[in-house]
């Protein structure tokens, strides 16, 4: 019934990442209406700072009333359809992006293309830079949505850059070269590398050394580098986030034209429903092609107007950025400490809305089949939807991405209680009451309640 293009299974819809969401939708946890339902820990949403935006909206009622200085802007916005976007919004977004990078770099608004979220930004870049059958190298583990966003409609291919736990999943020169060779063997032309920095799912930032390796690599091969910096405002700890923009601004070669940044307000402001994304590139040909493409997924004018007003309020952005980071750090620490209390370690991380959790010791065998078995138990028996590493193309079984910013502290507490019982029972269900592990866990719950006073207002 549908075209062969629409039927192509490169969408990745049947990955456990999306299947977990479906299971959650069938039986969603609610503390009173459905207390035995599935808790959604597979969704990288940021619900920690809504109150800050809501209170700004309350103090600025004109903005939602589509007024400016008391006069209606309704008709202007209703008719606006320029695919270059509202200049006031692009200026405000460029300044916000610089502010997130502590103004170490500046962004020229004329180098921005607005898109309906980072999903659309990544697809547009892929459309502009790769022909069907061309490949982009992407370090593993990577965001499962990339299979859909980079491959499905463009016909481009992803060749994984295999990273491993032996060096905390760092990108190395040899891993890049090895991926290139694999692409050549498959007769794929490599058009570029795409990284997420900070990383989804690792929750870590790329080091300056890794960024230099990447830039040297794309320079030598004369290919492109896309840096998806959608989580740039979530970095809450040391080392600090370094944008690719900073690295290229210090270079004497002309590599800037090969480097493109993707950004979105879905994570830092927690507004995935508003669909606000952007491509930033100083390559004029890419900007011109991407601008034409953006017609298929523009940001509505009232959304641009609202965000232009919000992001132009420098007092708001400064306090939002620091408070949001503080809350993410507290929540991250709660999850890490809770998991440690039941003997589950995480990769040390400094950003993101999730942890990369090491459950290798809970596998029956060191295989992806065992990982799937464990995942099914966690979803159906424990009632937590987490994302298995295999859905992120991780090469080692036993890693899971666990999100922490899309729920209340009480729900996180409930999730940890369930996981503690599961671990205590050796993966069979309810744990024996009063055991050492459970005591350690109850201690953590008490710490969590104390931390609540610090997080919630």
Ligand X SMILES: Cc1ncc(COP(=O)(O)O)c(C=O)c1O
Q: Give, in order, the Cα–Cα distances in Å from 202 to each of 13, 112, 241, 259.
A: 22, 27, 14, 22
Asked if residue 266 binds ligand X (CB under 6 A), the reply is: yes
Of 46, 49, 52, 119, the residue at the interface with ligand X (CB under 6 A) is 119
Does 330 qualify as catalytic in the annotation? no
CB-based contacts of 330, cutoff 8 Å, min separation 6 = 451, 454, 455
Binding window for ligand X (CB under 6 A); candidates: 115-123, 232-240, 241-249, 376-384: 115-123
141 or 272: CB nearest ligand X: 272
Which one of residues 154, 258, 264, 421 is an interface residue with ligand X (CB under 6 A)? 264
Measured CA to CA in angstroms, residue 105 lies from 69, 72, 108, 245, 423 at distances of 32, 36, 10, 7, 47
Residues sharing a CB contact under 8 Å with residue 342, sequence separation 6 or more, in sequence order: 416, 419, 420, 423, 424, 437, 440, 441
List 134, 147, 149, 228, catalytic entry: 228
Q: Which of 272, 338, 383, 388 binds ligand X (CB under 6 A)?
A: 272
Give the three-class secondary structure for 251: coil
383 touches ligand X by CB under 6 A? no
Report which residue's Cβ sits closest to ligand X.
Answer: 117
Minimum distance, C-beta of residue 407 to ligand X, in the bound complex (Å): 16
Among 118, 125, 242, 448, binds ligand X (CB under 6 A): 118
Please name which of 406, 417, 411 lies closest in space to residue 445, comparing C-alpha atoms.
Answer: 417
Query: What radius of gyration, in Å, describes the C-alpha atoms of the chain?
Result: 22
CB 275, min distance to ligand X, A: 7
**CB-count exposure of residue 132 (10 Å: 0-12, 13-18, 19+):** exposed
Q: Which residues of 64-103 are buried (b: 16+ CB within 10 A; e: fewer)?
A: eebeeeeeebeeebeebeeeebbebbbbbbbbbbbebbee
User: Catalytic: which of 24, 29, 142, 143?
Assistant: 143
Taking the complex as a whole, how short is the minimal distance between the CB of residue 267 and ligand X, in angstroms? 7
230 catalytic? Reply is: yes
Cβ neighbours of 298 (radius 10 Å): 19
x-or-dash pattern for ligand X, window 178-197, by CB under 6 A? Answer: ------------------x-
Binders of ligand X among residues 212 to 251 (CB under 6 A) are: 228, 230
H or E stretch at 281: strand 277-281
Q: What is the DSSP letter of 41?
A: -
Least separation in angstroms between CB 441 and ligand X: 30
Comparing CB distances to ligand X, the nearer of 179 and 276 is 276
Binding mask 325-364 for ligand X (x = CB under 6 A): ----------------------------------------
What residues from 130 to 169 belong to the interface with ligand X (CB under 6 A)?
143, 145
Q: Which residues bind ligand X (CB under 6 A)?
A: 44, 117-119, 143, 145, 196, 200, 228, 230, 264, 266, 272, 277
Q: Which residues are catalytic?
A: 143, 228, 230, 267
């Amino acid at each position: 019934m549908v075209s062969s293009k629409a039927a192509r299974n490169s969408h990745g819809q049947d990955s456990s990442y999306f299947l977990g969401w479906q299971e959650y939708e069938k039986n969603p946890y609610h503390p009173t209406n459905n207390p035995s339902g599935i808790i959604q820990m597979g969704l990288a949403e940021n619900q920690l700072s809504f109150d800050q935006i809501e209170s700004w909206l309350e103090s600025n009622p004109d903005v939602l009333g589509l007024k400016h200085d008391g006069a209606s802007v309704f008709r202007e916005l209703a008719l606006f359809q320029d695919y270059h976007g509202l200049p006031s919004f692009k200026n405000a977004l460029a300044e916000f992006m610089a502010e997130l990078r502590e103004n170490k770099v500046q962004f020229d608004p004329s180098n921005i293309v607005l898109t309906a979220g980072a999903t659309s930004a990544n697809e547009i870049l892929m459309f502009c830079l790769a022909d069907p059958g061309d490949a982009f190298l992407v370090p593993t583990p990577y965001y499962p949505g990339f299979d859909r966003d980079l491959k499905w409609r463009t016909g481009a291919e992803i060749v994984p850059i295999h990273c491993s736990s032996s060096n905390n999943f760092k990108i190395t020169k040899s891993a890049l070269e090895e991926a290139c060779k694999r692409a050549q063997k498959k007769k794929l032309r490599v058009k570029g590398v795409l990284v997420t920095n900070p990383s989804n799912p690792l929750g870590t930032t790329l080091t300056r050394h890794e960024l230099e390796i990447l830039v040297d690599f794309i320079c030598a091969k004369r290919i492109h580098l896309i840096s998806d910096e959608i989580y740039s405002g979530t970095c809450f700890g040391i080392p600090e986030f370094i944008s690719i923009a900073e690295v290229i601004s210090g270079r004497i070669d002309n590599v800037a034209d090969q480097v493109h940044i993707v950004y979105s307000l879905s994570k830092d402001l927690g507004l995935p429903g508003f669909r606000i994304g952007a491509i930033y590139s100083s390559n004029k040909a890419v900007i011109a092609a991407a601008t034409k493409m953006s017609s298929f997924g523009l940001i509505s004018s009232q959304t641009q107007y609202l965000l232009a007003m919000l992001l132009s309020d420098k007092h708001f952005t400064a306090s939002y950025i620091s408070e949001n980071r503080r809350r993410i750090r507290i929540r991250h620490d709660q999850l890490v400490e809770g998991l440690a209390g039941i003997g589950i370690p995480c990769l040390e991380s400094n950003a993101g809305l999730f942890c990369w959790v090491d459950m290798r010791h809970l596998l029956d065998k060191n295989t992806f089949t065992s990982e799937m078995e464990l995942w099914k138990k966690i979803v159906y028996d424990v009632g937590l939807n987490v994302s298995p590493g295999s859905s992120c193309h991780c090469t080692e079984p036993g890693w899971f991405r666990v999100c922490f910013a899309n729920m209340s502290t009480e729900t996180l507490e409930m999730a940890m209680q369930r996981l503690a019982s599961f671990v205590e029972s050796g993966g069979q269900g309810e744990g024996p009451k009063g055991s050492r592990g459970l005591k350690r866990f109850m201690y953590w719950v008490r710490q969590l309640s104390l931390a609540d006073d610090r997080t919630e207002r």
